[in-house]
C-alpha cells in the first residue's frame, strides 16, 4: 500500500473514532448504549465502522479459526435507521442477523455476551 493510501486510511480511522460515539444517540434510562456496552468490555471497531453504520465487537468471544467465512467474534452494529444488529461468533454466511431495539439489546446483553461458538443458539426475549 502506498504512503498516500495509508495516510488516507489513517485519517479516516481517526475521523471515525472521533465521531463514533456521537453517532450513537439512542438513549436508554439516560445512558448511551455505547457507554453501557463499552463499560462491559465491548470495543468500538474503527476499521469496520462507516458513515452508514458503527460497530462494536466483544473480545471475550473470540474464536480462533482460519475459515474466513466464519465470524470470529460477536458483533453489534447500529445502522442509520437506529436498528441494533447482532451476529454471534461462529456464524457463517447463513448466520442469523438478530435485530433489536436499544432497550431490547440491553435486556439481552448478558445472553449475547455469554454465547460462545458451538453453543445452542440463544432464545432472545
121 in any annotated domain:
no
Report the relative pairing of strands 27-28 and 84-87 from DSSP bridges. Answer: unpaired
Tell me if 44 sits within 8 A of 20, measured CB to CB.
yes
- Each of the 125 residues of the chain gets a pLDDT tens digit; together they read 566 666 666 665 565 555 554 444 444 443 488 889 999 999 999 998 888 889 999 999 999 999 999 999 999 999 888 889 999 999 998 899 999 998 899 999 999 999 999 999 999 97
pTM score, whole prediction: 0.75
CB neighbours (10 Å) of residue 72?
18
Within a domain: residue 57?
yes
Whether 102 is in a domain gets the answer yes
- Tell whether 62 is covered by a domain: yes
Asked if the structure places residue 59 within a domain, the reply is yes
* Number of other residues whose CB lies within 10 A of the CB of residue 18: 10
Nearest residue to 22 (alpha-carbon basis) of 1, 62, 51: 51
Is residue 103 one of the residues assigned to a domain? Answer: yes
124 is a domain residue: no
Residues 82 and 25: their CA atoms lie apart, in Å, by 9
Give the whole-angstrom CA distance, residue 65 versus residue 26. Answer: 34
46 lies in which domain range? 3-114
Domain count along the chain: 1
What pLDDT score does 26 carry?
Answer: 45
- For residue 67, is it within any domain? yes
Neighbouring C-alpha atoms within 13 Å toward the C-beta of 16: 19
Amino acid at each position: 500500500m502506498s504512503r498516500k493510501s495509508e495516510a488516507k486510511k489513517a485519517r479516516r480511522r481517526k475521523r471515525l473514532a472521533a465521531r463514533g460515539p456521537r453517532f450513537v444517540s439512542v438513549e436508554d434510562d439516560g445512558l448511551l448504549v455505547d457507554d453501557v456496552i463499552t463499560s462491559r468490555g465491548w470495543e468500538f471497531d474503527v476499521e469496520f465502522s462507516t458513515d452508514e453504520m458503527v460497530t462494536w465487537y466483544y473480545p471475550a468471544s473470540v474464536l480462533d479459526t482460519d475459515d474466513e467465512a466464519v465470524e470470529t467474534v460477536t458483533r453489534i452494529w447500529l445502522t442509520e435507521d437506529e436498528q441494533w444488529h447482532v451476529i454471534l461468533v461462529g456464524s457463517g454466511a447463513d448466520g442469523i442477523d438478530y435485530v433489536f431495539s436499544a432497550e431490547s439489546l440491553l435486556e439481552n446483553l448478558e445472553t449475547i455476551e455469554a454465547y460462545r461458538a458451538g453453543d445452542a443458539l440463544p432464545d432472545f426475549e
